[in-house]
């Protein structure tokens, strides 16, 4: 395995002559910039071997905008704008007497009035479940045919006894600015109203708003996760089966965002975590729930499918065209579904480096959020990732991690492949097997291939993205040389990653 800065070799890469059995290499050209930039890091590249040929088309965009993802992008952008106000609010507030709500208590909340969240509407809700860590409030005006009392109790037990402990063990404690000792989960049809119920527009399932941790207009001045409710009148989007299956993954996902904001902004006095890593960690929280929640608390009895199947689908989308999607999203974006798949895969792969437990990887995730640092965490993005992995390999950098990860996405499907460092594998998933179970057919990542004959490829490198090439040399084949030419190198940080497969 070799990771090469093309600036150190004038863009040249030479693979040696093959022996009597031939040889096969994987070559990736990737962007090693782990920090967010306005508009997203991007730059043209051309990879040429032997002689020029017609270049391929540039990378396509990440796909049509999803309403739920667009709404979340607005909320994450608001986190940046309100960071200083949230820090000031925390400093000004006196420690409150802990007054947890009681079942039956009513309260009026401010909830986003539209997908733009430029205004707010009052929602009166009643406490239907109060546990040690989580309280469920339900909008008093929701339609009949929604959650039954037994279903609310089941959701409350799940959130209080499993999702909250899971998130706080993995990522650290949330703030408690309102002093009530609980995180409130507010279930309201005002969340449903944020979606244009259709087959193609995407659905807002729930959210966390950092505004609630400030004294800005519309703030509820406390820790709240918002969620959708069943609505028989809109069964296409909000049927009970769908809502029951998706509300718990939404809660565990959004709770990670709430915790992250506390660690980075309220305690760290810094900026929110970079969206790409923030989303990757929230999707990882979903997977953790799928692996640890007891089957009897999942409607289908298959918790891993309920909580993690979306991550697998998104990962499949990403690997089907990895050069088309950012890993490191542009500022203000929370990623397309394919980019969410990239972020989850990367966090999952990082977690697999754990020195203690490669499934739950608490030692890695807690370092990524500074969970054991009283002063929170100021590092974000690629710098945070590199710092968190220092205990695994001293001196490791984000460019090195990104290159190894990109190689792993292909070596994962090479039968019998082994590599001494152990870095080039996922340890907790058999991706070829799980992809084949959900999407029968070939592995989604399909690199270009050349035997050393004239080769040329051109396109656009996006932040953290990669393009893949298999070089298959015949027996006693000649050396193969390549020349990489890139543009906007200071922003893209182009790199080559190479590993011999056989």
CB atoms within 10 A of CB 455: 20
Provide CB contacts within 8 A for 280, sequence distance 6+.
340, 343, 344, 346, 347
Question: Own/partner pairs for 403-406, CB < 8 Å, 24+ apart?
Answer: 403/3, 403/28, 403/30, 403/32, 403/495, 403/497, 404/1, 404/3, 404/497, 405/345, 405/346, 405/349, 405/350, 406/28, 406/30, 406/322, 406/466, 406/468, 406/497
SS3 183: strand
Strand bridging mode 120-130 / 183-187: unpaired
Residue 300 DSSP class: T
Contact 102, 130 (CB under 8 A): yes
- The helix (run of H) or strand (run of E) holding residue 109 is strand 106-112
Cα 392 to its chain centre, rounded Å, is 22
Residue 442's pLDDT is 94
Q: What is the CA radius of gyration of the chain?
A: 24
pTM for this predicted structure: 0.92
- The helix (run of H) or strand (run of E) holding residue 184 is strand 183-187
Residue 96's pLDDT is 53
Provide CB contacts within 8 A for 147, sequence distance 6+.
138, 155, 187, 229, 230, 240, 244
Residue 358's pLDDT is 82
First to last CA, the chain: 12
Cα 360 to its chain centre, rounded Å, is 16
CA distance linking residue 223 with residue 174, whole number of Å: 8
Residue 90's pLDDT is 61
SS3 337: helix
Burial per residue of 221-245, b for 16 or more beta-carbon CB atoms within 10 angstroms, e otherwise:
bbbbbbbbbbbeeeeebbebebbbb
Q: Assign 3-state DSSP to the chain and report helix, strand, coil percentages, each to 5.
A: 40, 20, 45
SS3 125: strand
CB atoms within 10 A of CB 204: 26
Residue 62's pLDDT is 46
Phi-psi bin for 318: left (phi > 0), alpha (psi -120 to 50), beta?
A: alpha
- The helix (run of H) or strand (run of E) holding residue 15 is strand 12-15
- Read out DSSP for 48-105? EESS--PPPPPPPP--SPPHHHHHHHHHHHHHHHTHHHHHHHHHHPPPPPP----TT-
Task: Count Cα atoms within 13 angstroms, Cβ side, for 49.
Answer: 21
Walk along the chain (502 residues) and give the pLDDT tens digit of each residue: 999 999 999 999 999 999 999 999 999 999 999 999 999 999 999 999 862 233 333 444 444 456 677 777 777 777 777 776 666 666 565 555 568 999 999 999 999 999 999 999 999 999 999 999 999 999 999 988 899 999 999 999 999 999 999 999 999 999 999 999 999 999 999 999 999 876 556 789 999 999 999 989 999 999 999 999 999 988 888 999 999 999 999 999 999 999 999 999 999 999 999 999 999 999 999 999 999 999 999 998 999 999 999 999 999 999 999 999 999 999 989 899 999 999 999 999 999 999 999 889 999 999 999 999 999 999 999 999 999 999 999 999 999 999 999 999 999 999 989 888 899 999 999 999 999 999 989 999 999 999 877 899 999 999 999 999 999 999 998 899 999 999 999 999 999 999 999 9
Residue 88's pLDDT is 63
Residue 325 DSSP class: S
Strand bridging mode 206-207 / 42-49: unpaired
Phi, psi of 493 (to 5 degrees): 50, 65
């Amino acid at each position: 395995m070799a990771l090469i800065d093309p600036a150190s070799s004038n863009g040249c890469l030479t693979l040696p002559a093959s022996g009597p059995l031939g040889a096969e290499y994987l070559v990736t050209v990737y962007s090693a910039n782990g920090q967010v930039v306005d508009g997203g890091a991007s730059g043209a590249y051309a990879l040429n071997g032997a002689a020029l040929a017609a270049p391929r088309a540039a990378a396509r965009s990440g796909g049509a905008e999803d309403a739920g993802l667009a709404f979340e992008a607005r909320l994450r952008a608001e986190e940046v704008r309100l960071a200083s106000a949230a820090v000031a609010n925390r400093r000004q507030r006196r420690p409150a007497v802990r007054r947890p709500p009681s079942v039956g208590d009513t309260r009026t909340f401010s909830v986003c009035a539209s997908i733009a969240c430029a205004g707010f509407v009052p929602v009166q809700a009643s406490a239907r479940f109060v546990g040690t860590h989580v309280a469920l409030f339900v909008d008093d005006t929701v339609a009949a045919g929604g959650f039954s009392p037994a279903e609310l109790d089941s959701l409350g037990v799940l959130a209080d006894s499993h999702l909250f402990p899971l998130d706080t063990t993995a990522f650290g404690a949330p703030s408690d600015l309102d002093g009530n000792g609980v995180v409130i989960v507010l279930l309201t049809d005002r969340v449903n109203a944020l979606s244009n119920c259709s087959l193609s527009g995407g659905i807002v399932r729930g959210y966390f708003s950092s505004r609630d941790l400030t004294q800005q207009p519309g703030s509820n001045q406390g820790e709240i996760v918002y969620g959708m409710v069943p609505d028989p009148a809109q069964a296409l989007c909000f049927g009970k089966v769908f809502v029951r299956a998706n509300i718990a993954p939404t809660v565990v996902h959004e709770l990670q965002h709430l915790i992250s904001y506390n660690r980075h902004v309220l305690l760290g006095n810094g900026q929110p975590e970079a969206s790409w890593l923030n989303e990757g960690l929230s999707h990882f929280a979903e997977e953790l729930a799928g692996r640890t929640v007891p089957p009897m608390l999942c409607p289908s009895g298959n918790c891993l499918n309920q909580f993690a199947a979306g991550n697998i689908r998104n990962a499949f989308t990403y690997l089907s065209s990895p050069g088309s999607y950012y890993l490191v999203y542009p500022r203000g974006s929370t990623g397309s579904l394919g980019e969410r798949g990239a972020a989850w895969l990367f966090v999952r792969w990082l977690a697999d480096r754990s020195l203690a437990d490669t499934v739950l990887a608490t030692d890695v995730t807690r370092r990524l959020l500074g969970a054991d640092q009283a002063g929170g965490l100021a590092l974000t993005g690629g710098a945070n990732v590199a710092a968190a992995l220092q205990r695994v390999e001293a001196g490791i950098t984000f460019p090195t991690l990104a290159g190894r990860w990109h190689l792993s996405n292909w070596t994962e499907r090479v039968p019998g492949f082994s590599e001494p460092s152990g870095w080039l594998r996922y340890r907790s998933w058999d991706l070829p097997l799980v992809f084949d179970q959900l999407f029968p057919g070939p592995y989604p990542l399909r690199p270009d291939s050349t035997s050393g004959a004239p080769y040329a490829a051109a396109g656009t490198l996006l932040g953290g993205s990669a393009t893949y090439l298999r070089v298959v040399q015949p027996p006693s084949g000649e050396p193969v040389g390549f020349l990489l030419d890139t543009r906007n190198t200071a922003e893209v940080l182009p790199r080559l990653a190479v590993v011999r497969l056989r």
